[in-house]
Amino acid sequence: DAGVIQSPRHEVTEMGQEVTLRCKPISGHNSLFWYRQTMMRGLELLIYFNNNVPIDDSGMPEDRFSAKMPNASFSTLKIQPSEPRDSAVYFCASSLTRWETQYFGPGTRLTVL
């Protein structure tokens, strides 16, 4: 298994543009997590899904952020419109259940100019 796959690995965009980050969890894992990592705030959980259903989105910073999981093998995190303060590394992780070890993807480094 290739593990959790994220794309793109790097994204540079201009303020106001829409950004879509993608994640493919490990096959058979039922829980999927989106995190944001910055120097100031460390790792922050944005949202997590269990069996494709969003369970807790309290970490989503504002309405500009949205996440979907249309099926068990794919999730997206969308920022529209993007702002410079959204610049960060965004990680996706999956686990067998929400309480098991989380397996992380390589992250997407987002830079908003």
Partner 1 sequence: AQRVTQPEKLLSVFKGAPVELKCNYSYSGSPELFWYVQYSRQRLQLLLRHISRESIKGFTADLNKGETSFHLKKPFAQEEDSAMYYCALTAAGNNRKLIWGLGTSLAVNP
Between residue 74 and residue 113, which ones bind partner 1 under the rule CB under 8 A? 91, 93, 98-99, 101-107
Question: What is the nearest approach in angstroms of partner 1 to the Cβ of residue 56?
Answer: 6
Tell me: does residue 22 bind partner 1 (CB under 8 A). Answer: no
Compute φ and ψ for 12, nearest 5 degrees.
Answer: -120, 125
By C-beta, is 4 or 82 nearer to partner 1? Answer: 4
Q: Does 55 bind partner 1 (CB under 8 A)?
A: yes
Nearer to partner 1 by C-beta: 21 or 93?
Answer: 93
Residues in the interface with partner 1 (CB under 8 A) total: 21
- Which letter does DSSP use for residue 84 in this model? G
Taking Cα atoms as reference points, which of 16, 29, 5, 1 lies closest to residue 84? Answer: 16
Q: Which is nearer to partner 1, 75 or 82 (CB)?
A: 75
Which residue lies nearer to partner 1 by CB, 25 or 105?
105
Q: How far is CA 85 from CA 15, 16, 30, 106, 108, in A?
A: 10, 12, 31, 21, 15
Q: Which residues contact 21 (CB under 8 A, 6 or more apart)?
A: 6, 7, 8, 11, 76, 77, 78, 90, 92, 108, 110
Residues that bind partner 1 (CB under 8 A): 3-4, 41-45, 48, 55-56, 91, 93, 98-99, 101-107
